[in-house]
């Protein structure tokens, strides 16, 4: 196709040559069928992607040109549009590729049909002549783009909820998840245990060994905690600094005590030297537990405060221990 040269002339409407050029240059498949369903014309876009030149298509029905390659809903849609002269759309979501059209330019690779979105609009050519214009949009690119965007947004939402250093969930995630689990427990009348964990004398560790070493401890502690949690619904989050929160849905005494004890022991068993620890000489955890009992009337904030108080008491009672506190109504 030679480049279009349109002379500025306000008087004249584009002539037939120009209309033909427009018809063949649009980045859209166009098929004009008459009221008997025969192709009157199709544009370059369709010719290239179907492998059938416009001249060979003229005067034939789409069924005879494509035979079994047409999908039945497309045939019905075209028939409906020709009969009732109402516009019809065929979504890519429900049909994918109604027409046997293939990417252009043709490559050596095995060809799969172009993803299509189709609109059929009735046209009146004056007097008693009626036509249908079939417009075909290639949606392959927009579908690919949406896939990429979806992958990106999934990654972003993971990032937004993850603590970059330890890989545990972050505080933002905790706040949301805790609310959801708390409401679920109250609605279903099931118990919910909440554990607050804190690394003993962590500030002293940082001061003595330096921050990079402190970071390694945080990573190791999270890995140790994660290795002990076995249900997908059990959640460990970095609540702040060296403090962690574990949500255990559908869990009450004595299982929550056993779990807390397992976590304490797992960290203690890491045997990470901590010469500034005033108790054991290794890195240890203090843990506060509380439980929302079935049918208890306690607010989410109150339960969280109770777990915090339980942790505070564990610290005062000598650290490296688990302390339980019941949630007051």
Binding site for another protein (CB under 8 A): 72-73, 76, 80, 83-95, 117, 119, 121-122, 143, 146, 150
What are the angstrom distances between the C-alpha of 23 and each of 11, 57, 152, 292, 294? 22, 16, 38, 70, 71
Residue 13: strand, helix, or coil: coil
**Shortest distance in whole angstroms from residue 150 CB to another protein:** 7
Residue pair 111/102 in contact (Cβ under 8 Å)? The answer is yes
Rounded to whole angstroms, how far apart are CA atoms 214 and 81? 71
User: Which residues make beta-bridge pairs with 120?
Assistant: 88, 134
Comparing CB distances to another protein, the nearer of 50 and 139 is: 139
69 part of the active site: no
Comparing CB distances to another protein, the nearer of 84 and 184 is: 84
**Shortest distance in whole angstroms from residue 130 CB to another protein:** 11
Comparing CB distances to another protein, the nearer of 98 and 249 is: 98
136-161 burial, b at 16+ Cβ within 10 Å, e below that, comes to bbbbbeeeeeeeeeeeeeeeeeeeeb
**Shortest distance in whole angstroms from residue 77 CB to another protein:** 8
Rounded to whole angstroms, how far apart are CA atoms 124 and 89? 19
For 29, phi then psi, to 5°, come to -80, 130
Comparing CB distances to another protein, the nearer of 70 and 266 is: 70
What are the angstrom distances between the C-alpha of 114 and each of 101, 133, 214? 6, 19, 55
Comparing CB distances to another protein, the nearer of 83 and 110 is: 83
Comparing CB distances to another protein, the nearer of 85 and 315 is: 85
**Shortest distance in whole angstroms from residue 93 CB to another protein:** 4
Q: Active-site residue among 108, 242, 261, 293? A: 242
**Shortest distance in whole angstroms from residue 262 CB to another protein:** 35
Residue pair 171/245 in contact (Cβ under 8 Å)? The answer is no
**What's the token pair of residue 321?**
């221990």
Comparing C-alpha atoms, which of 58, 76, 60 is closest to residue 120?
76
Cα four-point dihedral sign 233, 302, 164, 203:
negative
**Shortest distance in whole angstroms from residue 62 CB to another protein:** 17
**Residues taking part in catalysis:** 242
């Amino acid at each position: 196709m030679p480049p279009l040269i349109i002379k500025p002339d306000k008087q004249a409407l584009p002539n037939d040559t120009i209309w033909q050029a427009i018809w063949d240059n649009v980045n859209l498949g166009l098929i004009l069928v008459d009221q008997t369903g025969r192709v009157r014309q199709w544009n370059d876009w369709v010719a290239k992607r179907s492998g059938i030149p416009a001249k060979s298509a003229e005067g034939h029905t789409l069924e005879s040109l494509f035979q079994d390659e047409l999908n039945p809903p497309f045939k019905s849609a075209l028939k409906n549009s020709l009969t009732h002269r109402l516009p019809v759309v065929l979504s890519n979501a429900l049909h994918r590729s109604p027409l046997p059209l293939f990417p252009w330019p043709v490559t050596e690779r095995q060809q799969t049909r172009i993803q299509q979105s189709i609109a059929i609009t009735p046209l009146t050519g004056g007097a008693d002549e009626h036509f249908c214009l079939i417009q075909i949009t290639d949606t392959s690119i927009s579908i690919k783009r949406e896939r990429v965007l979806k992958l990106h947004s999934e990654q972003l939402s993971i990032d937004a909820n993850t603590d970059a250093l330890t890989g545990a969930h972050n505080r933002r995630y905790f706040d949301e998840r805790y609310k959801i689990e708390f409401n679920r427990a109250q609605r279903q009348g099931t118990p919910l245990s909440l554990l607050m964990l804190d690394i003993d004398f962590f500030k002293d560790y940082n001061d003595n060994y330096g921050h990079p070493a402190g970071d390694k401890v945080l990573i190791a502690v999270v890995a140790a905690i994660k290795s002990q949690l076995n249900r997908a619904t059990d959640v460990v989050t970095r609540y702040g600094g060296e403090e962690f929160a574990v949500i255990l849905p559908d869990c009450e005494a004595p299982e929550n005590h056993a779990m807390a004890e397992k976590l304490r022991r797992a960290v203690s068993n890491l045997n990470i030297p901590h010469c500034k620890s005033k108790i054991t000489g290794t890195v240890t955890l203090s843990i506060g537990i509380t439980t929302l009992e079935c049918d208890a009337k306690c607010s989410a904030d109150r339960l969280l405060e109770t777990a915090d108080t339980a942790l505070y008491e564990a610290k005062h009672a000598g650290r490296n221990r688990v302390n339980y506190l019941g949630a007051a109504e």
